[in-house]
Structure formats: C-alpha cells, structure tokens
Amino acid sequence: MMWIFLFFPFVLWGQPSLRSGQILHEWNTVLTEVILQDGFTPPVASRIYVYPNVAAYEALVAFNKEWVSLAGQLKGLSGLPVPSAGVNYHPGIVAAVAFAETAKELVWRDYLIDELKTAHLNTLRKETPDTTTYRASIVYGKQIAQAIMDWAKKDNYNQSRTYPKVIGYNEPGQWVPTSPTYGPAVEPHWHTIRTMVLDSASQFNPGPPIPFSTDPNSEFYKANLALYQLSKKLTRKQKLIASFWDCNPQVSMQRGHLMMLRRQISPGGHWILITQTACKKKKLSLMESAEVYAMVSIGLFEGFISCWQEKYNSKLLRPETYITQYIDPNWQPLLETPLFPEHTSGHSVISNASAVILTHFFGKKFSYVDSTEMFLGLPPRKFKSFLQAAEEAGMSRHYGGIHYLPAIKLGMKQGRNVAYYILSKIKTRKEEQNSSNNKTSASLLPVEKK
C-alpha cells in the first residue's frame, strides 16, 4: 500500500497582529495540514480542532473584558489560570503558545506545529516591549494549554482506544465493511466521549431509518433502486458537488495490484476553513476570530458525538452493500463508502451545525466563495449563505451514492438542533453585548421539534 500526499497549501506566514485574526487563521490552516498528513478520522479530527481553539479563546478572554470565559459553561472545564497581577502580557503570544502547546499533544507531526510557533514568536517578539513581558506571555500560554489538556484527558478518548473493534454486524440489514479496504468500523465507541454542552450523546435523536427489507415493493428497496437509478444519470454538476464535499480523509485508489491512499481534509476541516474565509472577509479581530473558531469547533465536536451515537445505534448497512447484493452486483458508488454505518449522514449533521453557528455570527445572507478544494484541482464554489452550503454538502452524499435521503434530511435537522442548543447554552459575550454585537441572535433560531 502506498500513500499519496496532496498537501493543503499553507497560508503564507504574514505579520500576525492583534488587529486581525491572522494568528488563528494560520494556526487552523497548519493544524488542518497536520490532521491531513497524520490521517486522523473525522471524529478524531473534530477533537483535535476543539481543544486548541478553546485554549486560544481562553488565552485571550483575560485581556478582552467584553467576552466571558467558557469555564463553568463547558462540562468539566473550570479553574483555569488567570494572569498574575502587576505583570504585563502580550495577548497574541499567549494565544499562539496556548494553541500550539495544546495542539502538539493531540497530533503526531508536532514538528509542524513547532515550526509555526517559532515563526510567530519571532515576529511577535518585535511587538513586545521587554523580555519580561515576552517570557511571562509564554509562561501564561503554557499554563492555559496545560489546563486545557488536563481537561481533555478526562473526556474518555484515551480509554476508548482500548475498546474492542467492530468488524461488522451479523443481523440482516446491519452494517458490514465495504470495498475496497473492507476495514473495521471507524470509531464505534465515539458516543462514549464526554460531550461539552449536550446533556448526552442521544439528546437529539434524529429518528430511525427506513425499515430494512428485501421486498421489491418495500420503501427500503425503492429507496435503493432510486439511488441506483440516480447514479446512472448524474449530471456534471452533481458529480462536481459530490467531489467537492467528499472530504474522505483517506481515499483508496487501485492501480493493478497496488493500492494507494490519497489524503484529503475531513468534513470538519472543510468547515474550519470556511470559518477562516468568513472571518477574513469580515476582517474580524483576533478576539472575534477566536470566538467564532471556538464555537464552530464545539459544534463540530458535539455534532460528531451526536451523529455517531445514532450510527452505532441503528447500525444500518450502506447502499453499496444492499445494491450489490439485491440489485446490481457490479455497481459502485461515485464516492468511496466510508467505513461506518449509514444513518445519519455525518456531513449533513456537522455541516448544518457549523452553518447555524456561522449564521449566528455573520447573518443569514452572508455570501462567500469556498476555495477549500482547489488543492485537489476542484474549482471554487460560490454560496449565498452558510445554510445553502450545508444543504449542498448533505445532498452531495446522495449524489455520491453513499447515503439514503432520510439520513441526509434527518441529519440536517439533527445538526441544526445541536447548534441551536449550543447557542442557547453558551455565552461568549457579557449580557449587554450579546444582543448588539451578533448578527443573528439565538432567539431567532428556535430549536426544531423532534
């Protein structure tokens, strides 16, 4: 087996400043590159994004009195260190160090983190009035990172690494491994990871999938037949949409007897980079950018836990398995089928969770150009809103032949409900600021009924 690395291009290291979110834009781009190279699964990638971004947010809160700490709001997060009285700090250095030191504990290629850390500190050192301030800022950043990692280590991730693998289920209609790798299920115990905001992983149950049946007159057979027929007449636009939102971290390619794996960004990584695009377009400050990154990454983290709870509860087989067994043995979906159960669509859940949170900060009619997939040779796509993009991301899974429509529609609702709940529970601004500074308040986004 060989690996093909199509590296996501780093942003050019600019002049990080407190007047913009450039520091965090570069950090999240480099973190996306590291996640891509390390080959982390989508759920694990969401964990890698959330802790460094919360660390950066907490590093800046102490120096921005309009914002409030997430300590006491996120489960298990409390007792964070505070700046020492009478000591001067450089907030940018504190944030960069807090992000870097947290991220290094979560990835394998930590040398890439160190490279950007060194570049940032060399630049920010020039803005620092004296050595004492510079050193104190580094120390405080490391203290924040240590506190965040102490919190992270209690989320059951390490324990879940020891739980048994799932190589498939035995009951009719249940998930079994799919081609071409036929590997074990991805993160079957992710629902055991501690949630940050949700009451539990099952809080927003999306509802069951269509009942399994092999009867040609059944709803389930008809759903598979419709998907099969659609795959035969996909338009060029539909194929492009499917490829644009593929976001499979490891795509298999067969060359004779040789199998090669191509690395791509995860669904969460795609939405982190959309977040970057929005922050840059609005020219948000460092603190404002930290706020948005933290909230979007929390939405990703909670969304994956919620989705994975349902996936391994319903255990539904994939269209590829059903269609090749009951309709056409030679059929292949446009996209490679991910190695986990079908219901609900993960991309639908986390895309809609991200879209609702981004809409909260930027408004319902925020247009933007998404150039995230250009490194794979795919052209940019224009969107009139985040919710439009999220709906397209969901439908891309149907065009790709890897999801039934109910998994997409219910996944969209599931993701939005997760985000609405997060927005109703988490406060990032002091009370008098919440209603005036955010474009779309949580009150305008009521939780959908189950």
For range 42-58, the mean pLDDT: 98
Task: Please state the pTM of the whole predicted model.
Answer: 0.91
Q: What percent of the chain has pLDDT over 70?
A: 88
d(CA 304, CA 314): 15
pLDDT at 441: 38
Q: What is the pLDDT of residue 290?
A: 97
Q: For position 10, what pLDDT does the model report? A: 40
Task: Note the pLDDT of residue 263.
Answer: 66
Helix orientation angle between 346-362 and 405-425, rounded to the nearest 10 degrees: 40
Residue pair 319/61 in contact by the 8 Å Cβ criterion: no
What is the per-residue pLDDT for 53? 98
Is the Cβ–Cβ distance between 214 and 366 less than 8 Å? Answer: no
Position 438 scores a pLDDT of: 45
Please say if the pLDDT value at position 255 is more than 90: no
Q: What is the pLDDT of residue 373?
A: 79
Confidence check: pLDDT of 446 > 70: no
Q: Kindly indicate the confidence band of residue 253, based on its pLDDT and cuts at 50, 70 and 90.
A: low
- The predicted model gives 80-93 an average pLDDT of 93
- The whole-number average pLDDT for the span 397-405 is 97
Grouping H, G, I as helix, E, B as strand and the rest as coil, residue 381 is strand
Helix (H) or strand (E) holding 135: helix 131-152
> For residue range 257-276, what is the model confidence (pLDDT) as tens digits?
565 666 678 899 999 999 99
387-393 long-range contacts, CB within 8 A, separation 24+: 387/352, 387/355, 387/356, 387/359, 389/274, 389/351, 389/355, 390/348, 390/351, 390/352, 390/354, 390/355, 390/415, 391/352, 392/241, 392/245, 393/245, 393/267, 393/270, 393/347, 393/348, 393/351
The predicted model gives 216-222 an average pLDDT of: 97
Q: Domain boundaries in the chain?
A: 11-176+188-439
pLDDT beyond 60 at 223: yes
Q: How confident is the model at residue 19 (pLDDT cuts 50, 70, 90)?
A: low
Name the residue with higher pLDDT: 437 or 123.
123
Question: How confident is the model over 273-301, as pLDDT tens digits?
Answer: 999 999 999 999 999 999 999 999 999 99
- pLDDT of 12 strictly over 70: no
User: pLDDT band at 20, cuts 50/70/90?
Assistant: confident
Nearest Cα to 151, choosing from 29, 350, 301, 303?
A: 301
Q: Strand runs (DSSP E) across 52-185, as ranges?
A: none
Q: Which residue has the higher pLDDT, 14 or 388?
A: 388
CATH of region 11-176+188-439: 1.10.606.20
Residue by residue, DSSP assigns 206-271 as ----PPP---TTSHHHHHHHHHHHHHTS--HHHHHHHHHT---SEEEEEETTEEEEEE---HHHHH
With CA atoms as reference, report the closest residue to 295 among 426, 444, 158.
426
pLDDT tens figures, 170-201: 999 999 999 998 999 999 999 999 999 999 99
- Determine the pLDDT at residue 259: 55
What is the pLDDT at residue 129?
78
Confidence of residue 6 (pLDDT cuts 50, 70, 90): very low
Report whether pLDDT(437) > 60.
Answer: no
Quick one: DSSP state of residue 439?
S
What value does the mean pLDDT take over residues 393-412? 97
pLDDT at 262: 65
* Residue 233 amino acid letter: K
Question: 288-335, pLDDT tens digit by residue?
Answer: 999 999 999 999 999 999 999 999 999 999 999 999 999 999 999 999
pLDDT for the residue numbered 126: 85
Instruction: Output the average pLDDT for the chain.
Output: 89
pLDDT: is 9 or 24 the higher one?
Answer: 24
Residue position matching structure tokens 């795959």: 231
Cβ contacts of 268 within 8 Å, gap of 6 or more: 42, 45, 46, 49, 297, 300, 304, 350
